Amino acid sequence: MKVTQNNSEKIFWDPIRIPSGAPITMSGSQGKSLPKLMVWLILFVSATYVVYTLKLLSSSPSCDEDIFLSRHNSIPLQKNDTASITSSKISPLQLGEENEEKTGLKHMVFGIAASAKLWQKRKEYIKLWWKPERKMRGIVWLDSHVKTYRNESGSLPQLRISGNTSRFSYKNKQGHRSAIRISRIVSETLRLGMENIRWFVMGDDDTVFVTDNLVRILNKYDHNQYYYIGSSSESHLQNIYFSYGMAYGGGGFAISYPLAKALEKMQDRCIQRYPGLYGSDDRMQACMAELGVPLTKELGFHQYDVYGNLFGLLAAHPVTPLVSLHHLDVVEPIFPNVTRVQALQHLKIPISLDSAGLMQQSICYDKMNGWTVSVSWGFAVQIFRGVLSPREMEMPSRTFLNWYKRGDYKAYAFNTRPVMRNPCQKPFVFYMSKARMNYGTNITVSEYTRHIVPHPKCGWNMANPAEVDKVEVLKKPDPLLWNRSPRRNCCRVLESKKKSMVIDVGECREGEISEVLTTKT
């Protein structure tokens, strides 16, 4: 095993991965000692890299929402002496950490990057997750004035116009100088001098947060230290072009109070040093690099630099709480036959019942019928003919296209699998239709209805999952799920009556694993 693994590392040299910075040093100092074949390989790889980079530059990169009106009708920002304000009056040295209040929503302030041009449409995404001012604090930073409606004031954060950035130099030919305005949101929000803030959370106007899960994630970190928390893009090439160490603002990121304070002191000088950068996120990361603070990756923040259907990604969510969804204008609605906003509205039902368990996958087997069952709680259930292993099922299926609109499997920063390897194994998908709490038992009951689409002919001599119309999933709410070490939930097929299936989902029992005991000898 070991020997073949060593070999395979050389043979399956990923032509896209290698060139990130490599071509210069390799063709220079090491070139002569390399065998001929290697040199050709490097040339090929470099050429591929150049072609890809050009493509990346010519097609508009990820920030479609960053196209703003060029005139900034800015109002002067009220300056405040932020130096005197501290995030928490009591430092952990004076008071044991166990005595300090747990981080809640009230300790965060959201900074939403928005543009006047898209505001009337994008505000609907904010309304989906925003809670009134008593519970949440946040500011939408706009480039110019927008029409506001009195009846909306409770369902949206306050709106402000960003400060004038015309004094900053911007020299990127592909991007837009609104990037400077957006990268300064954290600093501008800090200067408002709000009290008792532990975290600054950045998001776009088309980012949807699951705020309970955001709290769960930020609670793991000490807000008195320097933290820059977020995630990369799904697109391997985007991550090469920008950085694997950059938080993508569309997926959202969080900056601890002391770090925001340190940033505010130097950001305007820092921004001037990088006029050639493309966007706001790379400007932010450049300043983080100057501060020496690396990205702390949390995989629940989702940039979603993909096209098509998010199904594969959502149905195999990593074992971590789902914190955000982005690019919802770009992808198809997450539930079929409804609008994008309606689909997200629908997701609020499972969020209210058991936010920690949202989208969490569990994998089990219907032994009677010989099927594999995958539950993505609160979203969808899939039934496959035959046995698919958990290591296969936990890979996202490529129901989506990459950021360059291809179905390429090499374009992602993680493993993916084809939707089916055999026509018989096209999944039968059931989407969540309703969900409720059974107050007699305190168990959630969610119902999933089959999405009727054509299936290829299958000659396998086994039960056809098309006979099932409805799947019912029983799950006890588990708000403390993420206080334990990460582990997938277990599921059990309780009964498989004709036309319906009942599944129990929950913490795995002692010795319980996802396996099918084979009876063959």
Picking from 231, 214, 209, the residue whose alpha carbon sits closest to that of residue 413 is 231
Nearer to ligand NAG, 5 or 337 (CB): 337
Cα separation values, 77 from 85, 160, 163, 189, Å: 18, 9, 6, 10
Cα separation values, 438 from 43, 279, 361, 442, 493, Å: 64, 48, 22, 5, 19
Question: Can you list the positions of beta strands (E) in 74-209?
Answer: 108-113, 137-142, 158-161, 199-204, 208-209
- Torsion-angle region of 111 (φ positive above 0: left; ψ -120 to 50: alpha; else: beta): beta
Nearer to ligand NAG, 36 or 167 (CB): 167
Tokens coding 329 = 């204008």
Residues of the shown chain interacting with ligand NAG in the complex, contacts defined by CB under 6 A: 72-74, 78, 80, 149, 151, 164, 166-167, 192-193, 337, 441-442
Least distance to ligand NAG, CB of residue 122, Å: 15
Tokens coding 143 = 């480039």
Measured CA to CA, the distance from residue 296 to residue 305 in angstroms comes to 20
Least distance to ligand NAG, CB of residue 337, Å: 4
Nearer to ligand NAG, 121 or 367 (CB): 121
Neighbouring residues of 298: CB distance < 8 A, sequence distance ≥ 6? 217, 229, 230, 231, 320, 323
Nearer to ligand NAG, 152 or 467 (CB): 152
Q: Which amino acid is at 485?
A: S
Nearer to ligand NAG, 24 or 83 (CB): 83
Nearer to ligand NAG, 99 or 442 (CB): 442
Least distance to ligand NAG, CB of residue 131, Å: 16
Least distance to ligand NAG, CB of residue 76, Å: 8
Measured CA to CA, the distance from residue 399 to residue 336 in angstroms comes to 14
Nearer to ligand NAG, 74 or 243 (CB): 74
Nearer to ligand NAG, 76 or 96 (CB): 76
Least distance to ligand NAG, CB of residue 251, Å: 28
Write down the number of H helices and E strands in the chain.
Answer: 13, 19
Least distance to ligand NAG, CB of residue 216, Å: 20
Question: Can you list the positions of beta strands (E) in 412-515?
Answer: 428-438, 443-450, 470-475, 490-495, 500-506
Least distance to ligand NAG, CB of residue 456, Å: 20
Least distance to ligand NAG, CB of residue 182, Å: 16
Cα separation values, 333 from 310, 337, 342, 345, Å: 9, 8, 8, 11
Nearer to ligand NAG, 72 or 317 (CB): 72
Tokens coding 24 = 């210069």
Least distance to ligand NAG, CB of residue 167, Å: 5
Measured CA to CA, the distance from residue 276 to residue 279 in angstroms comes to 9
- Side-chain half-sphere exposure of 266, counting CA atoms within 13 A: 15
